């Protein structure tokens, strides 16, 4: 079931009863102890935030980017479906402490705070062109050496961007937990998975709590900064039956998981239901279920495209059984480097940012793309 539902389109895994060993979170905290689910600001992890304007079919599109670092190769970070550039926040602070590099994390079209004329066009071709246009807007005709790193859907877009030569100064390619065979197998079950998620949350804190307790993000710190980019205030009226029902069936039940005693649970649920009318609700920034027509285009032929990219390549996976035939042969031929990071969910770079940073830093230093910072490792 995990293999079927592990979708590389999403930066998440299906909800689980608990978190596996090795995660950074424990569900049971003991009496009187409460975990902190308050949001964390982007500025704690990135140095700058800006909106980059690009020309697109007689209109201007604006892409939100977050940056850190002033010298060294550029790491262009592409997030998974439904997430945003903030998915890379904790990873960015770690990698910048390891090696000399610059980081640029962008909100892809239809995601985060990016504003484009046609946010519904999430084709691989269009999103790959977006990456090239943002690079051109940032660096002009002589961009610095760039390594593209993509997770899940972003990993597929990274491969399409590299294969189409949209980044002429491409140094290397890193793909995190996306394999064509597994992704294609999972497409049929994706709508059911998306329907299983809460439609709304009564606060950003509730969204963060759900993401941790469901196993979508197993690192509380990362969830506290990342989920801010996944949800937005609802635009529909608060009196909508669909809204109140999804709240009571979704996150409120999650919240009660650590409570003791049925009577107090019932009382709290009643109080929460009454509070709904007073609060502004939050929902997902992008309706992934409506992007289904693009899913196959993201992943079909991905293994072949990945293998034909001439730059050094790194594949990071959360499980060993996710290589398809083409990649298995390619690995035996030494066409790319692969590393498995166990005890991670699908959001590998969020669950284990230090391990991903270590793998990437070692890869880049080995290929002489950059150097370790003084005192590291």
Annotated active-site positions, please? 152, 177, 346
In sequence order, what are the beta bridge partners of 77? 105, 149
Q: Specify whether the CB–CB gap between 80 and 87 falls below 8 A.
A: yes
Please, which residues have CB within 8 angstroms of residue 292's CB and are 6 or more apart in sequence?
A: 190, 191
Burial of 360 (0-12, 13-18, 19+ CB in 10 A): buried
Among 326, 321, 332, which residue's Cα sits nearest to residue 307?
326
Of 64, 81, 150, nearest to 294 by C-alpha is 81
Q: What's the first-to-final CA gap in the chain, in angstroms?
A: 39
- Chain Cα centroid distance, residue 177: 11
Of the candidates 149, 116, 120, 150, the residue with the CA atom closest to the CA atom of residue 133: 116
Phi/psi for 169 (5° steps) reads: -95, 25
Contacts of 141 (CB under 8 A, 6+ apart): none
Asked if 15 and 215 count as a contact pair (C-beta separation under 8 A), the reply is: yes
C-alpha 44/C-alpha 86 separation (Å) is 11
The span from the CA of 190 to the CA of 196, in Å, is 10
336's CB contacts (< 8 A; 6+ apart) are 306, 307, 312, 313, 314, 315, 327, 330
- Alpha carbon separation from 220 to 5, 97, 173 (Å, rounded): 23, 21, 28
Identify the CA nearest to 67 among candidates 86, 40, 41. 86
**Rounded CA gap, 287 and 82, in Å?**
8
206: left (phi over 0), alpha (psi -120 to 50) or beta: alpha
């Amino acid at each position: 079931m995990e293999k079927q539902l592990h979708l590389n389109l999403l930066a998440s895994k299906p909800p689980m009863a608990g978190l596996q060993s090795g995660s950074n979170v424990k569900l049971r905290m003991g009496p009187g102890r409460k975990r902190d689910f308050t949001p964390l600001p982007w500025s704690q992890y990135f140095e700058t935030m800006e909106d980059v304007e690009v020309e697109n079919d007689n209109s201007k599109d604006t892409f939100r980017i977050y940056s850190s670092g002033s010298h060294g190769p550029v790491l262009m970070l592409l997030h998974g479906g439904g997430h945003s550039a903030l998915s890379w926040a904790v990873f960015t602070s770690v990698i910048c402490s390891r090696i000399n590099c610059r980081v640029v994390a962008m909100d892809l079209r239809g995601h985060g705070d990016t504003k484009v004329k046609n946010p519904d066009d999430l084709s691989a071709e269009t999103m790959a062109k977006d990456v090239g246009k943002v690079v051109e807007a940032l660096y002009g005709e002589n961009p610095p050496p760039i390594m593209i790193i993509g997770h899940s859907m972003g990993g597929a877009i990274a491969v399409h961007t590299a294969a189409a030569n949209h980044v002429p100064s491409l140094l290397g390619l890193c793909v995190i937990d996306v394999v064509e065979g597994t992704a294609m197998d999972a497409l049929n079950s994706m709508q059911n998975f998306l329907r299983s998620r809460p439609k709304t949350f009564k606060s950003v804190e509730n969204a963060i709590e759900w993401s941790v307790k469901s196993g979508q993000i197993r690192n509380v710190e990362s969830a506290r900064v990342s989920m801010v980019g996944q949800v937005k205030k609802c635009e529909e009226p608060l009196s909508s039956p669909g809204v109140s029902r999804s709240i009571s069936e979704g996150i409120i039940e999650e919240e009660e998981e650590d409570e003791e005693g049925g009577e107090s649970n019932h009382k709290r649920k009643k109080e929460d239901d009454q509070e709904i009318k007073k609060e502004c609700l939050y929902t997902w920034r992008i309706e992934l279920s409506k992007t289904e027509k693009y899913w196959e285009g993201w992943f079909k032929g991905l293994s072949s495209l990945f293998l034909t990219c001439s730059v050094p390549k790194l594949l990071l996976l959360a499980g060993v059984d996710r290589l398809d035939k083409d990649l298995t042969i390619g690995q035996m031929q030494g066409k790319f480097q692969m590393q498995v990071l166990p005890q991670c969910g699908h959001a590998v770079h969020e669950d284990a940012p230090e391990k991903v940073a270590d793998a990437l830093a070692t890869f880049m230093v080995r290929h002489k793309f950059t150097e370790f910072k003084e005192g590291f490792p």
